[in-house]
């Protein structure tokens, strides 16, 4: 049996998974989708920056444009 009471488990679940999404008026899954999308595009931007580092003539503005788009998306939420 667990040493955690039901109220303690509920409190932990709320703090770890529900409290922050609620601060931006999202459910857990809405927030997961938004954050996951950000992670995807940041990874793409990082790849473009790496390609640009290796071959400066490629992806000259790709990473910067992705980051500008992400800033617009983030600012539109609040």
Positions in the chain whose pLDDT score sits under 70: 1-4, 78
Residue 4: predicted pLDDT: 63
How crowded is the C-beta side of 77, counted as CA atoms within 13 Å? 15
| pTM, two decimal places | 0.80
Residue 3: predicted pLDDT: 63
Residue 22: predicted pLDDT: 93
Q: What mean pLDDT, rounded, does the chain reach?
A: 92
Residue 7: predicted pLDDT: 75
């Amino acid at each position: 049996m667990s040493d955690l009471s039901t109220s303690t488990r509920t409190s932990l679940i709320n703090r770890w998974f529900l409290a922050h999404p609620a601060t931006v008026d999202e459910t857990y899954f809405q927030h997961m989708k938004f954050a996951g999308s950000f992670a995807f595009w940041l990874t793409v931007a990082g790849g473009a920056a790496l390609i640009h580092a290796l071959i400066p003539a490629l992806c000259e503005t790709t990473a910067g444009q992705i980051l500008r788009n992400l800033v617009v998306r983030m600012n539109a939420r609040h």
